[in-house]
Each structure stands twice: as C-alpha cells, then as structure tokens.
Structure 1
C-alpha cells in the first residue's frame, strides 16, 4: 500500500526536476540570445546599465535637481532610482515577448508559463549582476557610501522586478490580439516611467495637487520606499510597498487568465502580423 504514495512522490519529484531543468536552459537562452557569447552579452548589459546611470547622474545635475535630493550621498540617490527603474522596465520587456506565437513554443516541453518564468529570471539575473558591479565601482571610484537598511532596499528591488513581471504578463496576454497597438502602449508606459517613476525627485516633496499623477505607478512607490530604506535622513510618508505588491498580484491573476484565453484562441498565423 505504501508503494503508491512513494511512486506518486517520485513522479512529482521527477516532473519538478524536469521543469527546473527546462527553465534553466530557457533562462540561459534568454540571457545570451542577443549575443552568441554569454559573457559578452552580460558585459553589454552591464555597460548599458552603467551608461544609463551616468546619463541620469549628468541630467539631474544639469537640471539643478541635486537640491531636492536626500541629504547624503548623491550617487546613492541616483542609483536607488535608476536601478529600480531599469529592473522594472527590463522585466516588462523580458516577459512581454514570450507570447503564444513565440517560436520556442514549437518545442513540446516548452510552455508559455515556462517562457514567462525564464524571461523574468533572466532579466533578474542580469540586473542583479549589473547592480553588484556598478555599485562596487561607484563606491570605489566615485564616492564611498553606506546603505542604511540594505535588506529593505533589496526588498524594494525585488518588488520593482515583480511588478514589472506582472505588467509584462498583461502586455504578453494582449499582444496576440493587437500586436502593434500593445507594442506602442508598452513603449509609452516605459517612456512615461522616465518621469512618473519619481526617480528624479522625492514623493514627500510633491504637492498634493500633482501627487495623483504619480501614485498610480507601483514603481513610484518602490523607488520612494527604497530611498527611505537607503537614507537615514528620509522617511516616506506618501507611498507604501503594500500597494505595489497587491497591485502586482492582481495584475498577474488577470494576466494569466487573459493569457489562457489568448492561448486557446490564437492561431499560428497571428504571429505573421507582428
């Protein structure tokens, strides 16, 4: 009688191991798909992130916004905004491209859910590596700084990634029905995050009349909370991580239901319109 449960557990364990193996290989493919060499692909991603950090550092300085920054390390102020902004947008791009008409789905073991997981993990892996390298270089070569609450900053980083995954699933589920329109909306959203993410200013400094233009954005909440964790001199009063987490969970549920519907109705010829 005990052989049946053991057999069921063995099949479950083997199925889980096979799934994780496939996720690993699809994640590796996502990381290196832009370049033939994995190391070269990672270096290019780190370089791109570094260039964006430098761009925003110069832009904030040029626009005279250093006066509204938190009292403390200015480079840390820039990094907490730019890293979460990049992580959020990269997660959207990585997840939204793995729809039902993805060529990888022609391979039998690969599923849409697996493509979502591998895309999300690949973007997270690259961004974690970029954060570690750029933070080390900035701390050594630009100016030394200390993070007040590193664990909470890391939590905000992962929530920014998680909310990006959730929004990416929404775009992925809608892409088969209107690929061009969804692509445009996705680009508009990511461009809008240049301003509405709040990475160039503090939520506490915004007047009540303009705050509503930013509080809809989960990234705005995570960046502001990350700065509250990074700086001992700043306490966020107008944002909360709960909003970003709950909104992300709701979007994932809606997105997965829409994806299931689109997967049932999509045809292979739909991919020709993209």
Structure 2
C-alpha cells in the first residue's frame, strides 16, 4: 500500500512560489527573444544614457568617480525599483485564477514575480561586468557588501510599495493611473543624472525626502568613498524600508482575502 508523504506548510509554500516562478519564466519565453530582451533592453538604455552624460560632462569623472559608473549605479537602481514596483503591483491580478487552489496565496505570486525580476537584474549586472572585462574597463568597488545590501533594500522597498498598490487596485482599479503618474517623476528626481552635490544646499530638502535618492547616492559612495555622502543617510533609508515592509505586511494581512474576492 502506497504511503502518503506529508509536507510541511513551509515546504508547500516554497513549492508554490517555485511553480509560479517557473510559470513566470515560461510566460516571458513565449517568443525567441523574450528573456534575452529583458536583459538587453536595460543595457541599451544604460549605454545610451551613459554616453549622453559622458559627452555632456566633457570628461570621464563626476565628483570623484567615473561618469560611466556614476550613471550605471543610478540607472540600475531606479530601473530596478520601477520594474519591481510595476510587476509586484500587477502580480495579484495576473495570477488571480490560481487562487482557486487552497495552497496558492497572493503573497506567493508577489514573491515569485519579484524574485524573477531580481534574477533578471542580476543578469544585467553580470552582463555589464562582462562587457567591462572585454573592453578592459577597470571596475572598482570599495564596499561590495554595502552595494549589495542597498540593492536588496531597493528590492524590498519596491515589493512593499507594489504590494500596497496591488491590494488597492482590487478595490479601485483606477489607482493604476495614479501609480504611473507618481512613478514617472522618480526617474528624474532620484539622482540618475545628478548628485546632491550639484544642487545648492538650501534646496536639498525638496529632494532628500526620496529614499530612492538616498539609495543611489549611498551606493555610489560605497563603491567610491571619494564621492562622498553629504545629505543622505543609511538611517533614513533603513527606516523607510522597515516602515514600508511593515505597512505592506499589515495591509496584506488585513485585506488579502477581501481583495482577491472582488
């Protein structure tokens, strides 16, 4: 007589996340360049923006660090945040038919899609490293651990805010337009093209409320200490991440059942 193998709740949850993760990979691979384009598209934008900034600055140095990497860190972090925000906020509705199965919960969908986007961004970074190696461009990172932690904090920030928006869409679908309206300026006010050092100190308070700007500036500082970190702090970034994660989990715990039933 065949025995029934029992699985723990954690094992079931992990299997569900992995299954949705594979489903996401399959959905991105429906055409010949699906996954490849997910990596190539950010690289094209990074290359183009970096070339424009380098040409405009007239030299290869920006506040003590190479202009190329000044742009690369900013673009990768902001692109990463916006992509995670968009994908995680759409995850609830995207996999809604799967919630008919008792083992599948919305949080599994959010985590699976967010991990997929994290994996894509890792491949983008590795491709940039490979290109620099082929072109014999020196890569210098003073504090690699802080750089990695900052990327992880941006990921948590994007997932948390995306989860809140995703829950809100279930009640008010029109909020998608509000998210687009709010996220577009982030590309220009998060320090991709500028540093706080380029702006007079009396105007810093108009920008330093943005945790994404803190993440970008602190990552540049972690890679090149000569860049400096005036006007930004790890404490502010960490508090924003903790509050966002707590608020997102609280909203999810209170409303996920009502949200998916609408």
What is the TM-score when the length of structure 1 is the normalising length? 0.83
| Residues in 2 aligned to 1:188 and 1:69: alpha-carbon distance in whole angstroms | 30
- Matched with 1:141 is 135
Q: State the 1:65 CA deviation.
A: 8.0
Superposed CA deviations along residues 218-256 of structure 1, whole A, max 9, x for unmatched, are: 110110000001113112021112222221222222223
- Matched with 1:36 is 30
Give the unaligned 5+ runs of structure 2: none
| Residues in 2 aligned to 1:266 and 1:231: alpha-carbon distance in whole angstroms | 45
Aligned partner of residue 198 in structure 1, secondary structure? coil
| Residues in 1 aligned to 2:46 and 2:107: alpha-carbon distance in whole angstroms | 32
| Residues in 2 aligned to 1:184 and 1:40: alpha-carbon distance in whole angstroms | 29
| Residues in 1 aligned to 2:138 and 2:111: alpha-carbon distance in whole angstroms | 36
| Residues in 1 aligned to 2:224 and 2:103: alpha-carbon distance in whole angstroms | 47
| Residues in 2 aligned to 1:197 and 1:104: alpha-carbon distance in whole angstroms | 36
Answer yes or no: is the 8 Å Cα contact 1:196–1:214 preserved in 2.
yes
Aligned partner of residue 91 in structure 2, secondary structure? coil
| Residues in 2 aligned to 1:160 and 1:267: alpha-carbon distance in whole angstroms | 27
| Residues in 2 aligned to 1:66 and 1:229: alpha-carbon distance in whole angstroms | 22
Answer yes or no: is the 8 Å Cα contact 2:65–2:227 preserved in 1.
no
| Residues in 2 aligned to 1:31 and 1:201: alpha-carbon distance in whole angstroms | 35
Matches within 5 A, 1:146-185: 146-180=140-174, 182-185=175-178
Q: State the 1:61 CA deviation.
A: 3.4
Q: State the 1:125 CA deviation.
A: 1.0
Report how many residues are paired: 257
Describe the shift of the 1:77–1:32 C-alpha distance in structure 2 as closer, same or farther (beyond 3 A).
farther
Q: State the 1:174 CA deviation.
A: 1.1
- Matched with 2:47 is 54
Matches within 5 A, 1:1-274: 14-36=8-30, 40-64=33-57, 69-99=62-92, 102-141=96-135, 143-180=137-174, 182-266=175-259, 268=261, 270=262
| Residues in 2 aligned to 1:185 and 1:55: alpha-carbon distance in whole angstroms | 29
What is the TM-score when the length of structure 2 is the normalising length? 0.87
Answer yes or no: is the 8 Å Cα contact 1:156–1:226 preserved in 2.
yes
| Residues in 1 aligned to 2:242 and 2:235: alpha-carbon distance in whole angstroms | 11
Answer yes or no: is the 8 Å Cα contact 2:85–2:162 preserved in 1.
yes
Q: State the 1:67 CA deviation.
A: 8.0
Q: CA RMSD in A?
A: 2.5
Describe the shift of the 1:104–1:138 C-alpha distance in structure 2 as closer, same or farther (beyond 3 A).
farther
Deviates more, 1:146-155 or 1:256-265: 256-265
| Residues in 1 aligned to 2:185 and 2:131: alpha-carbon distance in whole angstroms | 29
| Residues in 2 aligned to 1:192 and 1:169: alpha-carbon distance in whole angstroms | 20
Aligned partner of residue 82 in structure 2, secondary structure? helix
